[in-house]
Structure 1
Amino acid sequence: MLNKKLRYLPHLAIIGLALLPVSQAFAADEEEEDKEWREVALQLPEAPKAENLLNFYKSPSQSFAIDTKSLTVAADGTIRYSLVATSAGGAKNISYEGLRCQTYEVKLYAFGRPDGTWSRSRRNQWDMISNTGANKQHATLFSEYFCEGKTIAGKANVLLDKLRGKKSSYY
């Protein structure tokens, strides 16, 4: 009986060797997921200029635009951009923000001042994106322009084309 079982041993070894690359691929995926994410250093852009603003969302009380010159996809997988929110009465709020497709989060890096300088945010934290209330602009950026599921929808030029309503052929 033992001899019958032993005769299959070489076949099992061959099958094991054949499955080795598959198991290594799964191990590599697990290692990639286990790696601690690190945010790259912040570099604030120039203040937004009116000619570079691209409107993308309008709520009952505000309209929102992205400064096209500020939009970047950082090495850490964040999408960074200057956001200009304009109230129905004409008041403007400018912020520099980051969005993470992988985690459905947004972070406020800095506030724009009237003189064109930035005031860094004291809150150094990522927050879940809300699809209700006053902050639907982030959910709109996530779902309609910047992300495809948990993946960034492309390089900065592709994201800008999406914001402009163009279909890009270089995803």
Structure 2
Amino acid sequence: MKIKNLFWLGLTLAALSASAQVVIDPDWKETEAPAPPTFNKDKLIPLDMPNYVTLKFGVDPATLIITPDSIVRYVVVTANTTGSISAMYEGIRCATWEVKTYARYSANGQWSTVRNPQWEGLSDNRPSKHAFVLARKGICDSGSTTANSVADIVKALKN
């Protein structure tokens, strides 16, 4: 009789977890993104990327900010094997597991704003994996919750 009860309890819990959904605030509004902050390529926290990714990525911790709309904005810097760098000013919204690129920094030292930036789903199969790594390793606490503080994000990224 105990096995039968455990079976039904397990079945009930499975059904409840399958129907659980993330509740998104319908009144949520994104705040205007500030201008891209200056970054220091000598202060980057390197991102632990999968072995098949040949580019090196890092985040300047001084550029990390959690805005009142719960978006974590940052500058990620990319270096290739020749040593040239580029950067992107992005934001991650943990509640919806999305990323948005606001501006790109080129080798000529200039930021160019992305026209009509759009939120894109974060997944490990998107062409640029750095945002997925950032979200999983420090920006998003327990999946869809934004980390409590920039200090928590920095600590998680360094570990």
Q: Report TM bin, short chain.
A: 0.7 to 0.9
In 2, the alpha carbon distance for the partners of 1:127 and 1:104 equals: 9
**Do the aligned partners of 1:47 and 1:112 also contact (CA within 8 Å) in 2?**
no
Structure showing greater Rg: 1
Specify which structure has the bigger relative contact order, considering alpha-carbon pairs within 8 angstroms and separated by 6 or more residues: 2
Superposed CA RMSD in Å reads 1.9
Q: Which of 34, 39, 43 in structure 1 is aligned with 2:34?
A: 43
Supply the AA of the counterpart residue of 1:70. T
Equivalences, count: 134
Runs of 5+ in structure 2 lacking a partner? 1-22
**Do the aligned partners of 2:57 and 2:79 also contact (CA within 8 Å) in 1?**
yes
Within 5 A, what are the aligned runs for 1:14-163? 33-59=24-50, 60-114=53-107, 116-132=109-125, 134-147=127-140, 148-163=142-157
TM-score normalised by structure 2 residue count: 0.75
Consecutive aligned runs of 4 or more in structure 1 exceeding 4 Å deviation: none
CA distance 1:85–1:37, change in 2 (3 Å): same
Identity value in percent: 28
Supply the AA of the counterpart residue of 2:145. T
CA distance 1:119–1:62, change in 2 (3 Å): same
**Do the aligned partners of 1:98 and 1:106 also contact (CA within 8 Å) in 2?**
yes
**Do the aligned partners of 1:39 and 1:76 also contact (CA within 8 Å) in 2?**
yes
What SS is found at the alignment partner of 2:31? coil
Which is richer in helix? 1
TM-score normalised by structure 1 residue count: 0.70
